Structure 1
Amino acid sequence: MSITHDYEVDIKWEQGRIGIASSDALDNRIQVATPPEFKGGIDGIWSPEHLLVAAANSCLMTTFLAIAENSKLEFTSFDSKAKGKLEMKDGKYMISEIHFETYLKIPDMEQKQKAERLLHKSENVCLISNSLNAIRTISIHISKG
């Protein structure tokens, strides 16, 4: 049996290089624009490149939250920074790499190996990352807290 879900997003051009992303399923709207690294790009507004990296990073977090809960791993803090590398390959721009820098605080350091294993598993099974061709790497920092 196949499981499917649909996610609809609408984009409406506002002016210049700026648009608004919205969804009937959500209350919030997001202003989007060409990033400033490109001609006509605008600083200070979410770009498709930022949103792609944010999607991968937030998927890592939500996947970890589910796996940690199912595995009964206690933690007090989760923070992740992601950096996407945009480059031209074969004449086309693409996000070729995404690196996750994750910071996790756990109350019991005897659970450190389990926490590392679950973070690696989360990165491996994240559906957004698995939908991308980008090379993914993760650095894990676990401390007591």
Structure 2
Amino acid sequence: MPPRTKSWTYETNLNWTQELEGSLGSSGLPALGFGAPPEFAGKPGQWGPETLLLGAAEACTLLTFLSLCRRKNVQHLSYRSTATGTLALDSEGLIRFTEIVVRPVVQVKSQADADTARALFLDVPKRCFVGCSLKAEPRIEPTIEVVSTP
């Protein structure tokens, strides 16, 4: 029996609003204003394709990790992260992300959960669909902290 294929389709819509700005939406979701960043002749203080892509990689890292934690019964107390991405000219003269680094900091209750959490982060890059869809595979550099409860 051949394996069952799963697929999902998502849709967005976009409206140009002015100059280098627009509004991004999807059915049932609030609109998100965006624009070019200052380094590409845009205004400061708005989401741009660069930060949205980086945020998507960071969010996918979290959600993939949480899914794996649920499967392995790892109890985490907190999760926060930062991410950096480098846009640069590649060898073909195209601007693209050449590096993405996600740095999660996870707190857990026990050393056993810390060991399992570290192992789960090794699986995240091959299970996070955003990272798998990018040329620059995100590198994940987790910090796991054991927090004793009183």
Q: TM-score, normalised by structure 1?
A: 0.94
Local SS of the residue matching 1:37: helix
Aligned sequence identity (%)? 28
Residue 123 of structure 1 deviates from its aligned partner by 2.7
Partner of 1:20: 23
Residue 76 of structure 1 deviates from its aligned partner by 0.3
Partner of 1:85: 86
Partner of 1:142: 144
Partner of 1:101: 103
Local SS of the residue matching 2:14: strand
Structure 1: which 5+ runs fail to align? none
Residue 121 of structure 1 deviates from its aligned partner by 1.0
Residue 80 of structure 1 deviates from its aligned partner by 1.4
Please identify, of 119-128 and 88-97, the stretch whose mean Cα deviation from structure 2 is larger. 119-128
Paired residues of 2:60 and 2:128 also in contact (CA < 8 A): yes
Partner of 2:12: 9
Structure 2: which 5+ runs fail to align? none
Which segments of structure 1 move beyond 2 Å, counting only runs of 4 or more?
A: none
Paired residues of 2:57 and 2:138 also in contact (CA < 8 A): no
Partner of 1:72: 73
Please list the CA deviations of residues 21-78 of structure 1 after superposition, one character each: whole Å capped at 9, or x if unmatched: 001142x11101011111x211100000100011111001011111101100011001
Residue 113 of structure 1 deviates from its aligned partner by 1.6
Q: TM-score, normalised by structure 2?
A: 0.91
